Copies of this chain bind each other. A is one copy, B any other.
Amino acid sequence: MKVTIKDVAKEADVATSTVSRVLSNNPRISETTRKRVKEAIDKLGYEPNAMARSLARQRTKILGIVLPNEAKDLFTNPFFITSMQGMSLYAQTKGYYITYAFSEDDEGELNHVKEITNNNLIDGVILMRSRQNDEIINYLQDKRFPFVVIGRPEDTESILWVDNDNVKAMYDLVNLLIENGHKKIGFVGAIEEWNMSQDRLKGYKDALIDSKLDYHDNLIVQQNEFNAKNGYDAAKKLFKEEGLTAIVTTDDLLALGVQEYVKDNNMKDIALIGFNNSQIAQYQKPSISSIDIMAGRLGHYAAKLLISKLEGKGSKRKNYIVDTKLVERDTFIQIR
């Protein structure tokens, strides 16, 4: 049979409440009994029952993460598993567990969230996506259930979130290219409606303007999806522009397509930078430079934000901005 707090109490010849107190480091306990109890615990190999504890405390120390069901790249984009690791590592330091669940569709997803938030299984949820007018966000807000979202939500005030500074990421990148001698830089993005897309375009634009370089529509192509073909087609359009020496993209797949076009047309000295630092970029020849969005840190801070709220202590911080990192590879070309 499992050893319970009663067994420990008996062994140490104290009441269960006393054992519970040493377990929670209650200060009002004498050194002698504390020691005696600890010995009993060690001797019996006692481990508190998580369920009983949760029931009594009315908190489970379990976080629920909901993975987006619609993400086509769930399996190929290391973002998800990497940020899951970031969450896990942080959560462990605070004694939290994490459950995850995939859903078949939006409805299943919402139902799952309803379930775990109503059956007291979890203390808070981590959303790995934010979209416009998100049903789940609305639901959680109505219910006043603690949650955090990775990605900037519409309502940035009352919600906990973590995200990259996409404006800055692209601004810095384009500036760096300019410093390296590039004067005409193309931009390839996809799905204009997304916050992320708009921010990255803004960063690009701001950098050009601040350097008093040409900024006009012929330098920009927006596609409807992140894939290689769209990258290829975009490159075809962009290179009609005379003197283009660099192209920035908002995803490695787009960059991949651009590279194919560059190769097909035997172009030289074209700088090319992708986003997300995926394995495909790394293993191309030449290898494609990319912006790492630091998924692990995003996960880390998401967990941190949520747990801080749950424990109701410390700063009332509502969000974290995680810095991106340029990974320079073969396609980071200096012109001069």
| Chain A interface (Cβ < 8 Å from any Cβ of B) | 2, 45, 47-52, 54-55, 60, 62, 74-76, 78, 80-82, 84-85, 88-89, 92, 97-102, 104, 112, 115-116, 118-121, 228, 256, 260, 278-280, 283-285
Contacts and interface: CB of A to CB of B under 8 A. Distances in A.
Given A51-B120, A55-B52, A98 B101 contact: yes
Contacts of A120: 2, 49-51
A47 to B, nearest CB: 4
Given A97-B121, A279-B280, 19 more contacts: A47-B119, A50-B120, A51-B60, A52-B55, A55-B55, A74-B85, A76-B279, A81-B81, A84-B100, A84-B102, A85-B102, A88-B101, A88-B102, A97-B99, A97-B116, A98-B101, A100-B100, A228-B283, A256-B283
20 contacts: A49-B55, A51-B54, A52-B55, A62-B99, A75-B78, A75-B82, A81-B81, A85-B102, A92-B112, A97-B101, A97-B116, A97-B121, A98-B101, A100-B100, A228-B283, A260-B285, A279-B279, A279-B280, A280-B280, A283-B284
Q: How many copies of this chain does the complex contain?
A: 2
Contacts of A60: 51
Contact of A50 (B78, B119, B285): B119
